Amino acid sequence: MTALKDVMDPELHISIVNLQMVKNIDLEEDKVKIQIALTVGGCPLSKTISSDVQKAVMKLPGVKQVDVETTVMTKQELEQLRTKIQSQMVQAATDAHAPGSPMPPGINRLERKGIRNVIAIMSGKGGVGKSFVTGFLAVQLTRLGYQVGILDADITGPSIAKMFGLKGPLHITPDKQVLPAISKTGIKVVSMNLILEEPQMPVIVRGPIINSVIRQMFQDIEWGNLHFLLVDLPPGTSDAPLTVFQSLPLQGVIVVTTPQDLALMVVAKAINMAKTLSEQIANVKILGLIENMSYVVCTHCAERMEVFGRSKGEEAAKRAGIPFLGSMPIDPEIARLADLGKIEDYSNPLFEDVTNAVRVNATKLLEPIPGAMPIAWSESKSS
- 66 by Cβ neighbours in 10 Å (0-12 / 13-18 / 19+) ranks as middle
Give residue 55's pLDDT: 92
How many residues are present in the chain? 383
CATH number for domain 6-73, candidates 3.50.50.60, 3.40.30.10, 3.30.300.130, 3.40.50.300: 3.30.300.130
pLDDT for res 45: 72
> What does the alpha-carbon distance between residue 190 and residue 26 come to, in Å, rounded to a whole number?
44
Consecutive 10-residue averages of pLDDT for the chain (383 residues): 87 81 92 89 75 92 93 84 64 44 48 84 77 90 91 83 88 83 94 69 53 80 91 72 76 84 71 70 76 84 82 82 85 88 86 78 62 37 33
Domain with CATH 3.40.50.300 in the chain: 115-377
Domain 115-377 has CATH 3.40.50.2000: no
Query: By the 8 A CB rule, do 289 and 255 touch?
Result: yes
| 224 vs 251: CA distance, rounded Å | 18
Strands 296-297 and 285-291: unpaired
Say what the pTM is. 0.65
| Whole-angstrom distance, CA of residue 221 vs CA of residue 197 | 18
CATH 3.30.300.130 occupies which residues in the chain? 6-73
